[in-house]
Every structure is written in structure tokens, then in C-alpha cells.
């Protein structure tokens, strides 16, 4: 069974508690529960983690080279400055889908330019916490493991 590692950066443990006008009112626990259910539906193994520490994020990404097939990552505030996280992502051989709950392109200058996007396979942003589900689906498709039973427009898309 293929495995997706879903990683979350600093302060996302407070999701749903602060700034609901930007990030919504869904908690990270609810996001995790939804991702777990979706992984079951896709017959994928999934691991969901959050850290406030850059070094821990680097350790997890390094370890993922041996333990995961794809990464879905919301680097949060690390997106805009962390060369160590960028370098670790660069070394991961599989698909990496970057996700931001808010539309970072429509935000202030400080929150607009994710340096991670220079090495991630693709980026989902501005879709709220539903973006995690979209990111998982894209990762599963890139791994070639979307279930046969799914309708063709979802499983294959345009050809
Ligand atoms: O939209 C996203 O998912 C972000 O990655 C969230 C980051 C922000 O720095 C990025 O520009 C976009 C901030 C995460 C901070 O976590 C909070 C959680 C709840 C309330 C306030 C902040």
C-alpha cells in the first residue's frame, strides 16, 4: 500500500481558534480526521503531523525518503524563509503537493512568495481546508493509485 505523509508547519495547531476570517473555523483535528477518512477511501496509508519546529520538519522530510511515497505539506510560516526545509524537500524523490488554506497570492507581500514552490510538484491554495483533500487526490493520482471504481473524469481527467 502506498503512503502519503501530510505535514503541517508552525502555528497550524491553532487552526480554527484564531483569524477565522482568513483560515476558517475548522480545527486541525477535524482536518486530520477528514484526511484519514479520505485515505481509507483511496486505500492509501496516511500519516498526519504538525510541528512548530523547523528542525523537526526537516527530520520528518528526510525520514520520508524511506517511509513515504508522496508528501502533502502546509509549511505555514516556514514557506517564506526556510532554506533547510527547502533543501530537505529537494531531496525527496516522490511527488510533493504544497497546500495553503488561504490564497497566498492575494495576501500581503510577506505572505505571498513561498520559496517551497520552487521545488514542490504542485501547489493548492485558497480552497480552505478542503485543499487538503484536493492535494491528497492529486498526490494519489500522481502515484497512480486512484481506485479503479472512481468515475473517469476524476480518476483520469482530460486526456
Ligand atoms: O494559508 C495557509 O495555509 C498558510 O500556510 C498559513 C500560514 C501563513 O503564514 C501562510 O501565509 C499561509 C500561517 C499559519 C498560522 O497558523 C494559524 C492558525 C490559526 C490562526 C492563525 C494562524
pLDDT digits (tens, 9 = 90+) for 25-72: 999 999 999 999 999 999 999 999 999 999 999 999 999 999 999 999
Is residue 38 part of the annotated active site? The answer reads no
C-alpha cell at 91: 531531496
> With pLDDT > 70 as the criterion, what percentage of the chain qualifies?
100
> pLDDT class for 143, splitting at 50, 70, 90?
very high
The CATH number given to 3-155 is 3.40.50.9100
Annotated active-site residue 105? The verdict is: no
pLDDT of residue 107: 87
Tell me which residue of 22, 57, 26, 17 sits closest to 132, measured CA to CA. 26
Kindly give the pairing relationship between strand 70-74 and strand 45-50: unpaired
Across the range 83-112, mean pLDDT stands at 95
What does the block give as the cell for 130? Answer: 478542503
Residue 39 pLDDT: 97
Q: Check the CA dihedral 94-159-123-139 and report its sign.
A: negative
Burial 44-83 (b: 16+ CB within 10 A, else e): bebbbebbeebeebbebbeebeeebbbbbbbbbebbeebe
Supply the pLDDT for residue 111.
86
The pLDDT value given to residue 24 = 87
Q: What is the mean pLDDT of residues 119-141?
A: 98
Q: pTM for this structure?
A: 0.97
Q: What is the mean pLDDT of the segment spanning 104-124? A: 94
Ligand 1 atom nearest the C-alpha of 20 is 20
Q: Which atom of ligand 1 is nearest to the CA of 102?
A: 1
Amino acid at each position: 500500500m502506498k503512503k502519503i505523509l501530510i505535514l503541517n508547519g508552525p502555528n497550524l495547531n491553532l487552526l480554527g481558534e484564531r483569524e477565522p476570517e482568513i483560515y476558517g473555523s475548522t480545527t486541525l483535528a477535524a482536518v486530520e480526521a477528514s484526511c484519514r477518512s479520505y485515505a481509507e477511501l483511496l486505500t492509501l496509508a496516511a500519516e498526519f503531523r504538525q510541528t512548530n519546529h523547523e528542525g523537526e520538519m526537516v527530520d520528518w522530510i528526510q525520514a520520508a525518503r524511506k517511509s513515504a511515497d508522496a508528501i502533502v505539506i502546509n509549511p505555514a510560516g516556514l514557506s517564506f524563509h526556510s532554506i533547510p526545509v527547502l533543501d530537505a524537500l529537494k531531496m525527496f524523490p516522490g511527488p510533493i503537493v504544497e497546500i495553503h488554506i488561504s490564497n497566498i497570492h492575494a495576501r500581503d507581500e510577506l505572505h505571498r512568495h513561498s520559496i517551497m514552490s520552487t521545488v514542490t510538484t504542485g501547489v493548492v491554495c485558497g480552497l480552505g481546508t478542503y485543499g487538503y483533500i484536493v492535494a491528497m487526490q492529486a498526490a494519489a493520482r500522481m502515484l497512480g493509485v486512484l481506485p479503479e471504481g472512481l468515475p473517469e473524469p476524476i480518476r483520469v481527467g482530460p486526456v
